Amino acid sequence: VKVLDVWPRNSGGLEREQLVTVGEFGSEDPCTKVKKNHKYIFFMDPTDEPLVFRASFAPLDASGKNLKKDVGKILCEDCAAAPRLKPIKNPILVDEGSKLIVKCEATGSPVLTYTWFKDGNELKKN
């Protein structure tokens, strides 16, 4: 598949005119079928692997009559979105009594706030 355009937000390294392979990963059923020589808009999220993406929505037929409305629903920045935590890549081991700084990264809408708890009690900044 040839990439015709890329939204700059969260492109994950994907560039215009780049050739990409769209295929199946794992045993999941495909979310939709696409036609040859037809234009589609794909909504892809980057993964931890360079230039490997996961579909976040089914592709939209670029010739659809409600295309702008359909894209708007998917890309709605003011819409609520469940928090998505960025996984910690490597396990962290610390000796008992040692200091540990944990960085929590997540996305969601509205903007996220964090509250840390230990043994059921809220931790205060100090």
Quick one: DSSP state of residue 57?
E
Q: Which residue has the higher pLDDT, 120 or 54?
A: 120
Q: What is the pLDDT of residues 65-103, one digit of tens each?
A: 888 888 887 877 667 778 888 888 788 889 999 998 878
Report the length, in residues, of the chain: 126
User: For residue 14, what pLDDT is reported?
Assistant: 77
pTM check: above 0.75: no
DSSP H helical ranges for 27-104? 67-75
Taking all residues of the chain, what is their mean pLDDT, rounded to a whole number? 79
User: For residue 10, what pLDDT is reported?
Assistant: 63
DSSP H helical ranges for 58-107? 67-75
The separation between CA 125 and the C-alpha centre of its own chain, rounded to angstroms, equals 30
d(CA 88, CA 104): 9
User: For residue 30, what pLDDT is reported?
Assistant: 58
* Contact between 59 and 74 (Cβ < 8 Å): no
